[in-house]
Amino acid sequence: MLDPDDIAIILHAIATGFPDRAVNVVAMSDKIDENQRAVLWGALTADPDRSTQARHFGDALRSLGAERHSVNECYRAAFYASDDWKKLSSNPFFAFFSADRSGYPLDKWIHYFPIYERHLARYRGAPVRVLEIGVYRGGGLELLRNFLGPDACLVGIDIDEVARAAARGYEVEIGDQADPEFLQRVSQKHGPFDIVIDDGGHTMRQQTASVEALFPMLKDEGTYLVEDCHTSYWPEYADQGPDGLTFIEWVKARIDDLHAYHYSRSEHLQAPWQTCLDGLHVYDSVVVLTKARRAAPFSELTGTSEFINYPRQTGAIHLEMLATRDAAISRAADLEAETAAVRAQAELETAAIRAQAEAEGERSREELRPLRSELAGVRSDMARVSADLERLREEHEQTCSDLLGSWGIIREMRQSRSWKMTAPIRRLKNTLPPR
């Protein structure tokens, strides 16, 4: 098989636009047999596009059983020679990853980034608690910090003490991810967690033991993400999974749990997988389990009075309910029409009454007009009479006071000597007959 140096030369030739050089290396190599040469040559010459050449070359190497690392290099070259990296450049994880020169090494499969964004976006900027299984040198924690923001509480666990020293600024607990008691202690101390990301040892036993211990302690609405699940297909990771299952086989059993309501005869479904597993999202190498307390499922029928696929026991009740509802809707419509008619009639009558009242008011105003002027005449007469009365009262007062003055003069005069001396004359005068 071609060695890594040959493959590097071929990929460089493809990437720089010299496919003939790549074909030459294959044509001249003495490390491959004629069958292998034909397969590799065919892959390099089938398409003029650089990205396609690199991809086909990787496919050919994979089909010939080449090292995974060599195939990885081909697909990497294909990605950067195409527009795919441009499409991914708006992804915040990829943007950080591409620019990262922090000194925290970070090794990721590129296609994980859209999956991260899809499942973690709702936690962005929130004070969530996150557990990363497998810290290494802290690069993954840095990536999460950049995306989730300063309010997220990030905790890591690793079996290697070096991880704690390397991941400066992060809480790192040292222990085995396959040890449920250790995981429980971590969860009690730093949890409950909203997010768990398993990027630890990737063996079947580790992945399964971790999810079985941590998922029940995960917060409601939490997300549990397991990376590198392709190890289920790699013999070197096939350790002591429960019942000899790979992690992906364990995940397949969870698909059955998701549907437990539809086949289980048990009154109480098994927690948490049959009651709190909200969804399973299976991607290439990544499995995401979301948690939520599930309501018992039931189907509903709306929009038609007929069932689509098959008759149901509840069909009659449904039809009756629909008929009742239809009758109620039609009765409501009738009532609405009746109400509208009554309202219109009332408005008509009100308008007529108002018009009549206005007409009568006008007539009354006409009749009042002469009475008003008569009243004004009476009022002015009364004013005149009052003035006369006042004048007469003043005259009367004057007369009285004049009388009083005259009486005083008479009294003084009667007491005078001349009056008394002339008294006999007046008496005599009174005896004389009137002339």
Could you list the residues that contact ligand SAM (CB under 6 A)? 106, 132, 134-136, 139-140, 157-160, 163, 176-178, 199-201, 206
User: What are 174's strand-pairing partners?
Assistant: 158
Nearest distance, CB of residue 13 and ligand SAM, angstroms? 32
Exposure class string for 137-167: b at 16+ Cβ within 10 A, else e: bbbbbbbbbbbbeeebbbbbbbbeeebbebb
CB 111 within 8 A of CB 84: no
**Which C-beta is closer to ligand SAM: that of 22 or that of 183?**
183
Packing angle, helices 139-148 and 92-99, rounded to 10: 130
Q: How far is the CB of 196 from ligand SAM (least distance, A)?
A: 12
Q: Tell me if 135 sits within 8 A of 175, measured CB to CB.
A: no
Task: Examine the residue annotation and report whether 262 is marked as an active-site residue of this protein.
Answer: no
Which CB, 59 or 160, lies closer to ligand SAM? 160
Question: What is the Cα–Cα distance from 276 to 192, expressed in whole angstroms?
Answer: 15
Q: Distance between CA atoms of 14 and 213, rounded to whole angstroms?
A: 48
In the complex, the smallest distance separating the C-beta of residue 299 from ligand SAM, rounded to whole angstroms, is 42
Residues 114, 110: Cα–Cα separation, whole Å? 9
Token representation of residue 238: 């096939």
- Residue 286 beta carbon to ligand SAM: minimum distance, rounded to whole angstroms: 13
Which member of 202, 259, 262, 268 is catalytic?
A: 202
CB of 302 to ligand SAM, least distance (A): 47
Q: Nearer to ligand SAM by C-beta: 71 or 163?
A: 163
User: CB of 127: closest distance to ligand SAM in angstroms?
Assistant: 22
CA distance 172 to 146: 18
Cβ atoms of residues 191 and 217 within 8 Å: yes
Nearer residue to ligand SAM within complex by CB, 58 or 134? 134
Contact (Cβ atoms closer than 8 angstroms) between residue 149 and residue 120? no
Select the residue whose beta carbon is closest to ligand SAM and give its number: 140
* Residue tagged 């081909």 (tokens): 74
Instruction: Name the nearest CA neighbour of 287 among 230, 218, 325.
Output: 230
Q: By C-alpha distance, which of 130, 134, 135, 173 is closest to 148?
A: 130
Specify the residue, 6 or 142, whose C-beta has the smaller distance to ligand SAM.
142
Number of H helices, E strands in the chain: 16, 7
Phi, psi of 158 (to 5 degrees): -155, 155
Nearer to ligand SAM, 161 or 256 (CB): 161
Catalytic residues: 202
